[in-house]
Copies of this chain bind each other. A is one copy, B any other.
Amino acid sequence: MSLQHPPLHTVHVPLGERAYDIVIAPDAIDSAGEHLAEMFPGARFGIVTDENVAAAQLPRLLRSLDAKGLMHTEIVVPAGEASKSWDRLHTVAEAVLAARLERNDLLIALGGGVIGDLAGFAAAIARRGMDFVQVPTSLLAQVDSSVGGKTGINSPHGKNLLGAFHQPRLVLADLSALETLSPRHFAAGYAEVVKYGLIDDEDFFFWLEANFNEIAHGGPARAEAIARACAAKARVVTADERETGDRALLNLGHTFGHALEKVTGYSDRLLHGEGVAIGMALAHRFSARLGLAPSQDTGRIEAHLKNAGLPTTLADIPGDLAPTETLMDAIAQDKKVSRGKLTFILTRGIGKAFIERNVDPAAVSAFLEDMR
């Protein structure tokens, strides 16, 4: 493939016939037309995006597709987590059919995690499965949700409870799009970067501590951090595509995090990455309390998350928090539950996370009560 601007980083996700590349470059959106024309000759493209991203990034993408003469149609939804809904999924799926996009055509998810999850799920079910391309424009989407094929929407019963495993054919992570992120949204995405260090790569966590300033301000370390995070996720996903085993490690911080998101109404009160940051701190603190992990690791993690502008405790959540029993109910309804026992990602320290499938709900409840 000859490109005018060689990408800074390419991460390959070796999933056999579902293998794909993650291209990380400052101008990934501008070179989208070149990539797509070469990979999908003759295809038409349905671009799913939200109102905010449409204003900021859609013109770049359209210029790139038009320059290669690629046919496209746009499906624009409201911005925000509320678009991960049954009704919105219906709107997008029917719009795909109304545009007469066919099984050889593709959807393009241009936006953050919400758009990737929504468009990916629509691609999974329209005509029993169409190919799609992720063009993540938020840090969270670039390092997490656009890689690995998890798509879905929220249910009144919990987050992401309806969805599909549907791998993208290509991920184009555009670094310049990150310039438009607010510091708060950048930090929320960064929580997922930290997570990869905490799971199984102590060196990466130390590297993040040492290089955070450059990562926050957009130097070469930012691209490297994103590429290393994508590579870490690709390793886990490749070993366990459908989360029957170790892929659950990626849920470090997420069981607590999802419950907190649920009781705060999936709102701006607590962004997903903020919930994960608190969840990771709690998972480490809970592990330390169980005597599994050294408590100085918890302190070090909390310090780095705080330094990155992230919350780490229940008290950091603005407003009144729901009672512990409401939190426990949200935890029990999360899909990481099996036969009534709670499954948590616990840890023996930084870089030493493990899956524990027999966590006693009473111990979690007592812990949360003490953390208030």
Chain A interface (Cβ < 8 Å from any Cβ of B): 42, 86, 90, 93-94, 97-98, 100, 102-104, 121, 124-129, 150-152, 155-158, 160-165, 242-243, 333, 335, 337-339
* Chain B nearest CB, measured from A259 CB (Å): 15
- With A155-B97, A157-B98 already in contact, the answer to whether A165 and B339 are too (CB < 8 A) is no
* Chain B nearest CB, measured from A262 CB (Å): 13
The 7 closest A-B pairs by CB, nearest first: A97-B157, A128-B163, A127-B335, A125-B162, A86-B90, A97-B161, A97-B155
> What DSSP secondary structure best describes chain A's contact surface?
mixed
Contacts of A129 in B (CB 8 A): 164-165, 242
Q: How many copies does the complex hold?
A: 2
Whether B333 pairs with A126 at a CB distance below 8 angstroms is: no
* Chain B nearest CB, measured from A157 CB (Å): 4
Whether B104 pairs with A161 at a CB distance below 8 angstroms is: no
- With A152-B128, A157-B98 already in contact, the answer to whether A103 and B338 are too (CB < 8 A) is yes
Contacts of A125 in B (CB 8 A): 121, 125, 162-164
Contacts of A128 in B (CB 8 A): 150-152, 160, 162-165, 243, 335
- With A102-B338, A155-B97, A338-B102 already in contact, the answer to whether A124 and B161 are too (CB < 8 A) is no
* Chain B nearest CB, measured from A132 CB (Å): 14
* Interchain CA distance A214-B163 in the complex, whole Å: 45
